[in-house]
DNA sequence: CGAGACGTTGAACCTATTCAACACTGGTGG
DNA sequence: CCACCAGTGTTGAATAGGTTCAACGTCTCG
């Protein structure tokens, strides 16, 4: 039975009102950064942010652009890419509501090393690095949290490096799908849906392989009943079975 | 001509007096963290550190150990490893005098994700994460610097991931050697000596390949006159030629 | 001097890429 | 409304790059 249902992924375009001032405060207060901060301080911080609405496919910034802003995802999904000279890319992360990216301070590199592109239409909050640096200066607790989050990201990057070097493609794809499921999964009748439009190319760029190989592995997983997938969507139907694939053959 | 001179790498064991109290202050003031801080504050911070001398090969900590200390390299070289279940490891970094590793705050993961091992005998300064967190709290400028340094490390990790995915072994090894030369290079008659004992296994673990392949590539580079190497040492005799190898065949 | 770690080289093998052809899907414009 | 087309996904076969296994050489240190 090869009938592929239409994509169950929610592709509804973000409405303008989703970026309302109310949502802004809510998003900011949900951020690991700002949780626990007095409402007044939050209000002040909120004023420094501007909001930007984009359509899917648009670039927030490209590698090489001057790095002078920090971004927070209010609604939608953003993908962070790294380009190789040979044309092959790596998809570093898929960010969702509440996560930040870009430049935190003015101390770092002068230009972005990676590219940020909208995976779906989205609403972003943005602040000048300069302004955010002042906020960090005024609230040392926030800086400590930022350090902790960045430490985690370093560990994640190292983990992925290890996987690419030490594990076969099949296992890497299994890990990638599980991570996506954990982060972006939505419970459904058919299983755990990865709730973002995701092509074979995207998956390949996450697992460090080619779209053809990603397709092959996915086909095999599908015929084993571990995942269900179609055009631009993937659902994990058997999480345990997929976890087993991360260890052996 | 295959005569290999004895290793030109300085393998002198760190003497106890290298870890003297004088050196401690000097090392700390050289740290990106603490540069520009008033001498008095530095003195206070210095008191929170303890010093530890280790012999080459010893482990500072292993993956899984409770993460509760931050370390600073006073003298010697430390390698940071990540272990794969299959036995294959990745050498994440080779730290030298002035660099830090370990756990900066108590907010992060409860245990280390990587392993720190001495590449040479070394002297380390160490502070409890708890105490360091207080220092960061008291000096927001330090926290900002820490954030910048971590952002750079994230970029570095992503860069390496990209290389492993997109570039052939030869180019990865060339990049690795150039990075090592830039960081640990010492000018010599025969060229730029990578001033740390480095086996083929180490090089392989840095470039994400096997010792056999590393040896083969190195042999080829040697017969082209680009590098000179022996047991546990490598020198770059022609930096420009090596840089060319990072782009093409 | 002997033993063990380190390094080199060869040959077979295998995994994943590459190249290519084809199928399906969804949206656009005639 | 249908036909078309570009984007997306699938599958096959050939290829190549690197690993693996193995044997041997060399250096260092006790």
Q: Whose CA is closest to B72, among B145, B125, B135?
A: B125
Angle between helices A129-138 and B140-166 (to 10 degrees): 130
Our measurement of the distance from residue A115's CA atom to the centroid of its chain's CA atoms, rounded to an integer in Å, reads 12
CB within 8 Å: B160 and A161 = yes
3-state helix, strand, coil in chain A (%, to 5): 40, 25, 35
Set of chain A residues whose Cβ sits within 8 Å of the Cβ of B83: 162
Set of chain B residues whose Cβ sits within 8 Å of the Cβ of A148: 105, 107-108
CA distance B161 to B183: 19
Q: What is the pLDDT along chain B (249 residues), one digit of tens a residue?
A: 444 567 777 655 555 545 667 778 888 887 777 887 888 888 888 999 998 888 899 999 999 999 999 999 998 999 999 999 888 999 999 999 989 999 999 998 999 999 999 999 999 999 999 999 999 999 999 999 999 999 999 999 999 999 999 999 999 999 999 999 999 999 998 899 999 999 999 999 999 999 999 999 999 999 999 999 999 999 999 999 999 999 976
Residue B39: C-alpha distances to residues B20, B24, B45, B82, B144 (Å): 18, 13, 10, 37, 20
Asked whether residue A15, judged by its CB, lies under 7 Å from any atom of the DNA or RNA strand D, the reply is: no
DSSP output for B152-219: HHHHHHHHHHHHHHHS-HHHHHHHHHHHHHHHHEEEETTEEEE-S---HHHHHHHHTS-HHHHHHHHH
Dihedral angle, C-alpha B170, B171, B177, B178, nearest 10 °: 160
**What pLDDT digit, counting tens, does each position of A197-246 carry?**
999 999 999 999 999 999 999 999 999 999 999 999 999 999 999 999 99
CB within 8 Å: B147 and A144 = no
Which residues, 6 or more positions from A214, have their beta carbon under 8 angstroms from its beta carbon? Answer: A173, A200, A201, A203, A204, A207
CA distance A95 to A152: 15
CB distance under 7 Å to strand C: residues: A 4, 6-7, 168-170, 208-210, 212-213, 216, 231; B 199-201, 211-212, 215-216, 218-219, 229, 231-232
Residue B75: C-alpha distances to residues A79, B97, B102, B207 (Å): 41, 5, 16, 25
Please report which residue ranges of chain A form alpha helices under DSSP H.
21-30, 39-48, 129-138, 140-166, 169-184, 200-207, 211-223, 239-244
The predicted model scores a pTM of 0.92
């Amino acid at each position: 039975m090869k009938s592929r249902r239409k994509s169950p992924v929610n592709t509804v375009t973000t409405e303008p009102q989703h970026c309302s001032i109310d949502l802004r405060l809510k998003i900011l207060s949900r951020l690991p950064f700002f949780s626990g901060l007095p409402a007044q301080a939050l209000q002040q911080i909120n004023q420094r942010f501007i909001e930007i609405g984009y359509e899917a496919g648009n670039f927030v910034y490209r590698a090489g652009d001057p790095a002078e802003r920090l971004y927070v995802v209010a609604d939608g999904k953003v993908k962070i890419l790294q380009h190789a000279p040979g044309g092959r890319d790596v998809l570093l992360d898929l960010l969702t509501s509440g996560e930040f990216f870009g430049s935190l301070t003015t101390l770092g590199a002068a230009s972005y090393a990676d590219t940020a592109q909208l995976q779906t239409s989205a609403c972003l909050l943005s602040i000048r690095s300069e302004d955010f640096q002042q906020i960090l200066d005024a609230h040392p607790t926030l800086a400590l949290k930022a350090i902790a989050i960045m430490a985690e990201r370093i560990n994640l990057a190292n983990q992925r490096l290890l996987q690419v070097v030490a594990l076969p493609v099949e296992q890497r794809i299994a890990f990638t799908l599980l991570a996506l499921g954990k982060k972006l999964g939505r419970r459904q009748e058919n299983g755990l849906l990865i709730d973002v439009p995701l092509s074979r190319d995207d998956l390949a760029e996450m697992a460090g392989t080619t779209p053809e190989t990603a397709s092959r592995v996915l086909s095999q997983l599908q015929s084993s009943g571990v995942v269900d997938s179609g055009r631009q969507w993937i659902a994990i139907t058997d999480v345990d079975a997929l976890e087993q694939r991360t260890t052996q053959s």
